[in-house]
Copies of this chain bind each other. A is one copy, B any other.
């Protein structure tokens, strides 16, 4: 029996989304396809508003409304293509959750920058702890707050993205 699990990256995000939509009797419309394309054109974290802006910049004549962006983000999350990673400036921040390894974030309280890191030991510890209370662990979100290298340096040019993000 073939192990399709290991093949998942072989399917493009768009294709995976089409499959998800199919299970809901929904269609992969032009708008949805444009959104998936834009979302997966970069690995950067983003929020709904930023995505709306990026959609406006697309050369395609097709305009995508804010409502459609919001609705589609929800489905992309359901489909396992995106996940919310944090909340910055009162906005949900998304990142790719497909074809992208599990990881967590250091978040600079000064500039708001996110730094990804990956560590298997933590997941292992969690498995063990979950087991003790018979908790069926699915996933986790780990945000580590502090001050990043750049921001902890003497007064000089530094990040200042807190209200830009």
Binding site for B on A (CB under 8 A): 87, 106, 108-109, 115, 117, 119, 121-122, 125-126, 129-130, 133-149, 152
Contacts and interface: CB of A to CB of B under 8 A. Distances in A.
Task: Indicate the member of A108, A140, A149, A152 with the most B CB atoms within 10 Å.
Answer: A140
A137 B144 contact: yes
17 contacts: A106-B129, A106-B137, A115-B135, A117-B129, A122-B122, A130-B144, A133-B149, A135-B148, A135-B149, A136-B152, A137-B145, A137-B146, A138-B145, A139-B145, A141-B141, A142-B142, A142-B143
Given A109-B138, A135-B148, A139-B144, 11 more contacts: A87-B87, A106-B137, A115-B133, A117-B133, A126-B144, A130-B146, A133-B149, A136-B152, A140-B143, A141-B141, A141-B143
The 6 closest A-B pairs by CB, nearest first: A134-B149, A137-B146, A140-B144, A136-B147, A138-B146, A142-B142
Nearest to A126: B144
A97 to B, nearest CB: 13
Contacts of A142: 140-143
State the copy count for this chain. Answer: 2
Contacts of A122: 122, 125
A146 B126 CA distance: 12
A136 B119 CA distance: 18
A128 B90 CA distance: 30
A119 B129 contact: yes
Contacts of A87: 87
A118 to B, nearest CB: 9
Contacts of A139: 144-146
